[in-house]
Amino acid sequence: MPTAAYRHDHSGRGSAHIAQYSRGIRVDGRTVPYMNGLQWPGFATVANLPATAIPTGRFIDGLPVGVQAIGPYLEDRTALRFAQLAAAAVGGYTAPPLVPNAGIDLSMRP
């Protein structure tokens, strides 16, 4: 997504997944359609490339920020190893301020 994590939202017209088409998110101070953000992870999907999210350990307004890593075709382990090293370098997973970790270790260690 082109933003930090956003608050959970069940609003919108219609039922089930149809409602998401009427939702919006704030990007650079303006509201854009929620579904616009799906173009970014979609690039890897349509090209059949391995991709994974990397937790950065950073927060904006109390919500987590991460990045996506896309690897070469059929090199899933390369993308995963890169993500593991990048997470360790930038901070890795940190529980959001109001979400308990419940004693589960989700850190990514090389």
| pLDDT of the residue at 85 | 93
pLDDT digits (tens, 9 = 90+) for 20-42: 777 788 888 888 887 887 777 78
Backbone angles phi, psi at 75, to 5 degrees: -115, 60
pTM tops 0.85: no
Burial class (CB in 10 A: 0-12, 13-18, 19+), 69: buried
Ranges in the chain, pLDDT < 50? 109-110
What's the N-to-C CA distance of the chain in angstroms?
Answer: 27
> What are the DSSP calls for 64-85, one per residue?
EEEEEEE--TT-HHHHHHHHHH
Measured distance CA(41)–CA(53) in Å, rounded: 10
